Structure 1
């Protein structure tokens, strides 16, 4: 299948998926979300054992496309979009393959949740990550609550969500948000990862992954549903409207707790 906002390249038992809305810092609009869902299902139903994910251009992904959010402000497309996001995350988390995300530049919001759904998360030494939904009066989606709690525990996860902090690579690694730091081009790192993983007993690795997935999949689905419900409620608040207006006007928001 031909894609316009992503690239999917298969190489024997491995595949590379590249986010490719370069001029938008790979922000995820409706088309990209739909193409990601299709591509991930294609990989999950194939004989691919290794999936590496990265972004083209200057960043991994700036998150959800604010323009998409504004165009669906009447909520008519909200549940359809969230259903697609839920499908993307559950497919990526449960696929019978070892998945690796390579973050460079920035991974923010939904883009960060997407990266965290992988088995290995690798961060370029000059890159930054942020779960910054709070800045527009929203909560994480894409399973952000699930993955943050697993990696850094509930207490730190809440603080990171509430602060919307932009975290540098050193702190992200120290906290356990990511597994490794790297230097250089993520595309070159992908080739090295494929070589390394191909020397491992990949079927045994996948078997262990699927044991954990079977235990945790329902919890992930429940959190995705809760995020959908709470996110919808937050979209109706004055704080969210102020957050979006401030983003567009490039100023600091003035929140009032309602």
Structure 2
């Protein structure tokens, strides 16, 4: 798949056409989130976010799982409260980066997305999952609560009572269950990354500047009073009406052809 650049073997980055790939590469550890892995995924997201040629980003895992959660050995090595707080802040930064990146991010999940692995999948904009994938809320099994933003992300998708039941029972969701509850967008019967690439087609063909603001508005709509939401929409729409992409969209409509958006 194109030219791969390894970052100390923990993360692989690839740009294939207008899609950027970030592959977590700790297969022997089922891509459990160590400090180094988290930092390198964040750096990779930043790198692809600044690449104007990239319109969508796919996050996946090498080996038998997407991500088995936090690295237990790394967590056990933390010696005091200050180190623990620093680690949680670093790990949470990955979810924040996924949510705040201006470009759409698709989590391509196979095997397990367990614990913090489920958290980062939910922090992506879309989830495409293998039909055999499992989403495990395994925090309660080790006496913890969900972190990396999972409680808010999950409760935005299912009712509070369902979220509490799943979290406190250590629920393991199949792809079919997750899809039925609106947690994932697509189920793949073949290569989950290839399915994610197919899913990304509407993003790649679409107006990237418009997608950027759709992501921002949808992610923050719950924080806004209705009048503030109207005001934000109106201001952004006024700006978009002046873009080349809008003019191209109108021209394509009138000429009965497919629009060729440039993100300007």
Whole-Å separation in 1 of the counterparts to 2:68 and 2:42: 18
Q: Please report the TM-score for the alignment, with normalisation by the length of structure 2.
A: 0.76
CA shift, 1:203, in A, is 2.9
Whole-Å separation in 2 of the counterparts to 1:129 and 1:191: 21
Whole-Å separation in 2 of the counterparts to 1:156 and 1:197: 31
Task: Tell me what 1:251 maps to.
Answer: none
Task: Tell me what 1:29 maps to.
Answer: 34
7, 10, 21: which is aligned to 2:12?
7
Whole-Å separation in 2 of the counterparts to 1:142 and 1:195: 29
CA shift, 1:11, in A, is 3.3
Whole-Å separation in 2 of the counterparts to 1:181 and 1:198: 20
Task: Tell me what 2:128 maps to.
Answer: 122
CA shift, 1:215, in A, is 4.2
130, 153, 158: which is aligned to 1:152?
158
SS in 2 for 1:198: helix
Aligned structure 1 segments of 4 or more residues deviating by more than 4 angstroms: 214-218
Task: Tell me what 2:212 maps to.
Answer: 206
Whole-Å separation in 2 of the counterparts to 1:116 and 1:214: 15
Task: Tell me what 2:145 maps to.
Answer: 139
User: Which is worse superposed, 4-13 or 86-95?
Assistant: 4-13
CA shift, 1:185, in A, is 1.5
Task: Name structure 1 gaps, 5 residues minimum.
Answer: 219-258
Whole-Å separation in 2 of the counterparts to 1:149 and 1:133: 16
RMSD over aligned CA atoms reads: 2.0
Count, aligned residues: 218
CA shift, 1:146, in A, is 1.1
* Contact 1:49/1:96 (8 A) holds in 2: no
* Contact 1:123/1:180 (8 A) holds in 2: yes
Task: Name structure 2 gaps, 5 residues minimum.
Answer: 225-264
Structure with larger RCO (C-alpha < 8 A, sep 6+): 1
